[in-house]
Amino acid sequence: MSNAQTVTPELRRWIVEQAQAGHPPQSVLQAMLASGWREDVAIEALEATLEQHLDADAVQRGLPPAVPVPEPDLAESPLHLDAGDRRVHVLNAMFNPRVVVFGNLLSADECEALIEAAKPRLARSLTVETRTGGQEVNDDRTSSGMFFTRGEFDVVRRIEERIAKLVNWPVENGEGLQILHYRPGAEYKPHYDYFDPAEPGTPTILKRGGQRVATLVMYLREPEKGGGTTFPDIHMEVAPVRGNAVFFSYERPHPTTRTLHGGAPVIAGEKWIATKWLREREFS
């Protein structure tokens, strides 16, 4: 074996064969280390090969191909991440699906500034109407809301730049911040954020920056009870704590991403959130 330890096609085929035989990744990694592979090379080869194999298998089964997605730098399991002007806490991280709960993403002053700026422009929340590419009132969504344009004022611009650094995705690939207000009883039933490729209106929507590939829900004001962000497929609920946020990505527009999520009904008090959707390409 050379000092450079080149990852060969033969090694990749062997990794795939082990996966097909039912051997878990950790045992495959241990076998590679026992054979003399450096740990960093072995991990990189294992992750890349299995990712390619799984994607090829998915496409063969008729799923849309996977695309690159935003990704916080969690390789070394950090407790905090540098978001440029703010130190953000990593409270919880799940790999599959990729769900990360952040703490201290927003200050109390930033939360209140977004709420106050949004109040005069609130209207009944709409959902994307993928049959036509437009928007519609949907009984599944009972909040009120509005959108800021990207970089509309200083607080918005600062938060957008912070998000871009936090998840390693260009500012220009983000939609404008959406502010939502939930009163007692208001909810958003479980749904996906990507645009369904089977719907006739989706090609029109995708002209403005491609598919959505990730979502960041930020909590601006917390209710007394209820209002959590739920992920039914993985039996997870994120508490809507002011200043915190939940991030999740989806590499293909398909339920296999397990990113079904919703806003549980507010039981007491009021909930305010800001949502940032990230696209494949520049959003215009």
pLDDT in tens, 163-216: 999 999 999 999 999 999 999 999 999 999 999 999 999 999 999 999 999 999
Confidence of residue 76 (pLDDT cuts 50, 70, 90): confident
Give the model's pLDDT for residue 241: 98
* Mean pLDDT, the chain, integer: 90
Confidence of residue 250 (pLDDT cuts 50, 70, 90): very high
* Higher per-residue pLDDT: 178 or 133: 178
Give the model's pLDDT for residue 75: 86
Query: Which percentage of the chain shows pLDDT scores above 70?
Result: 89
pLDDT in tens, 45-70: 888 787 776 666 666 677 788 899 99
Within the chain, how many helices (H) and strands (E) appear? 6, 17
CA dist., res. 252 & res. 273, Å (int): 25
Which CATH number is correct for 80-279, 2.60.120.620, 3.40.718.10, 2.60.40.10, 3.40.190.10? 2.60.120.620
Q: With a cut of 50, say whether residue 1 has pLDDT above it.
A: no
Mean pLDDT, range 139-158, rounded to an integer: 89
In this structure, what token pair is assigned to residue 104?
């201290």
Q: With a cut of 70, say whether residue 282 has pLDDT above it.
A: yes
Q: Which residues contact 31 (CB under 8 A, 6 or more apart)?
A: 18
Give the model's pLDDT for residue 136: 55
Give the model's pLDDT for residue 2: 43
CA dist., res. 140 & res. 218, Å (int): 20
Confidence of residue 103 (pLDDT cuts 50, 70, 90): very high
Query: Which percentage of the chain shows pLDDT scores above 90?
Result: 70
Q: With a cut of 60, say whether residue 134 has pLDDT above it.
A: no
In the numeric block, the tokens 């800001």 are attached to 274
3-state secondary structure of 60: helix
